[in-house]
Structures are given as structure tokens and as C-alpha cells.
Amino acid sequence: MKTTAFCTATAVGSYIYRNIAKNATIKSSSSTHSTRKKMSSSLALGYQEIQNQPAQKKQEQQREFTSINAHRHTPLTDDGVLEARVAGKMLKNSGILFDEVHTSLLRRCIRTTNLVLMEMEQEYIPVHKHWRLNERNYGELVGLNKKETVKIHGTDQVKRWRRSYDEPPPPMCNRHQYHPAKDPRYRHMKDLIPKSESLQDTKARSRVYWDDIIAPELRAGKTLLIVGHENNLRSLIMRLEGISKEDVINLCLPRAVPLAYRLDENLKPLDRPDGKLDEATGFLRGEWLGGDQAVSDILERDHKQVYDTTITKNMETCDVDKSRWRDWMNLVVGEADPAAKAASDCRTKN
């Protein structure tokens, strides 16, 4: 028996789902055709945080290190809300029907989940929240501007803190203004919340939830959607794909772009229909619902945004193509004004 799983990663948040439809139609947003896949079950991941990541956070916080405890209860920007809705539309077009959603305790992830389900017209699905799906704890780096941190500690050190497998940032002191112990949602589990985490640590805590909750439900044939964060989704993808701890430093995920996997009965990824690895990262067997090229462009932009210290502007808000990108998103969710729709139709024909 073959099991099909779909994982999605988006700028809105992270999602993982599993579909039990016997004959689900998966449609890529970047393609005009649909592919019919026979399955007994399926899994999807998403990062706005695979895996889907929450949509854009508020403007002044977009380039800060966040944490397991969602310092400032980081909300979504207007563009982030739109990104989440677009991700939901992509998932709706895939034809997947979910049984349950699993997400974190963080506000931005919960909001992303609600927006995605609204666009999918599946708001009736049970949603389960757990701290083990929270974002990684960056310790003393939480609240610091990423680019300023690069200037102080250097590109190599910051990249190791962010992307390596077993090198955690400096631990958070008890006086830190964003210490999880100060958050009422963790009042009954203060001893469980770490003061800093590497990807290895994040993988260990996410694995408990995977082994105890996700995997048994997938094997039972349920269709699950997981809306998570970049690093817990990286840890899950690392496990699914068998990525080594040396190579995982090269695994980056875009926000709000669903990534679909087909899994066998052992929950191992099957090859993509074209038999190739994805072109965005070069080593994943998942299928980006937004298209490989779009993901590649997003990852290149995000890398420059953090590590290129010569760039001082926010590339997401100052990009000359921003208005065109927003017009396209509005068109996808059906809210473009007539003039914008006509212009888009004209560009498509030309």
C-alpha cells in the first residue's frame, strides 16, 4: 500500500497535511494541467513555515530573530494575510481534503491556519495546537535585528547559528524580556521550555510530536495539514528526506509556498512525477505548488536580505515588482479590481 503525503511551505506559515482521498487531483499553481494521483493517504507541510511558514510579520519585526514563545505575539502584516490566503488558494486548487490540522501555539501560525482554511472552505476541520510545533528558540538573539547581528558577529557565525545542525545561539538569560517563563501560555511547562535551541534540539522536540501524534494518524490513513515554522519544518524535512547534518545548512524554506510530498507505507518520500529533484534547492523530492522558479527567486532574495550587509532597504517592501506581486495575489484570491485584472489578462496573452 502506498501512502501519499504533501508538504507545503509558505511565507505565511508552515503546513503539513496528509490526504486520504482515493483519487485526489493535485494541481500546480504554475501549471495549466492537473495530475491525478491515486493514494490511500497523504501528508502536507507548510511554513510561513513540507512545510509552511507564517505569513509576513509586522513590518518593524520582519528582520528580527523570533522565538519559541512568540515575543510580542508577532502578528501578520496586510501582505502576510494576503500571502496566507494565496497559500490557501493553492491548497484548494490541489484538491486535497483534510481531516485535521496541527499547528503551534504562536499567534501568527494560528492566524495563518484560519486564513488558509477559510480559502480552502474547510473551516470545519479540527485544529490541534501544541508547543512542540513552535518556532525554534534563538536564545539571546531573540529580538535582535538579523542584519545588525551579521555586522557584529560575521556572516559565517550567524549562518551557523541559523542553519547548522548542532550549534545553538547563546542561551537566553532569565532576565530576558522575552523569556518564555513570562508568557502565561507556558505557565504549566516552564521546566520544558529550553533557553536556546539548535536545529538538533528543535528536531528532538518536534520528533516527539511526530512519533506520538502525526505518524500514527498518517498510518491510519488520515489527511493532515501541519502549519508550522521554518525550523521545525526544516527538522521534519531533514528526517523525511534523510538529509545529513552536514548538508542541512543548505536547506532554506520560503514563506507561504506549499510543498507537496507523496509518501510510501513507511512514510518515506516517493519521487516526483517527473522523476527529478526540485530545481529550487536541488535536493528535495517534494513538489512546490508555487513552482520551482518562484521558490528559487524568493530564496535568493531572502539570502541577500539577511547576509548582504550592503543592502540596507527591506527588499520585500522596496522591490520595484512589489505592486505587481500584490496585484497578482489579489487576482489569485479573486479581489483584483477590473483594471488590474484586465492588465493581468493582457500580460498573460502577450
304 marked as part of a ligand binding site: no
138 marked as part of a ligand binding site: yes
Query: What are residue 36's DSSP bridge partners?
Result: 25
163 marked as part of a ligand binding site: yes
CA distance 323 to 317: 9
Residue 255's SS3 state is coil
301 marked as part of a ligand binding site: no
148 marked as part of a ligand binding site: no
147 marked as part of a ligand binding site: no
CA distance 228 to 197: 16
C-alpha cell, 299 = 530564496
CA distance 226 to 76: 18
* DSSP of 135-200: PP--GGGBTSBHHHHHHHH-HHHHHHHHH-SS-PPPPPPTT-TT-GGGSGGGTT-TTTS-SS--HH
CA distance 192 to 159: 27
CA distance 96 to 37: 11
CA distance 123 to 107: 17
Please state the residue numbers annotated as binding site for substrate.
108, 135-138, 146, 162-163
Please state the residue numbers annotated as binding site.
108, 135-138, 146, 162-163
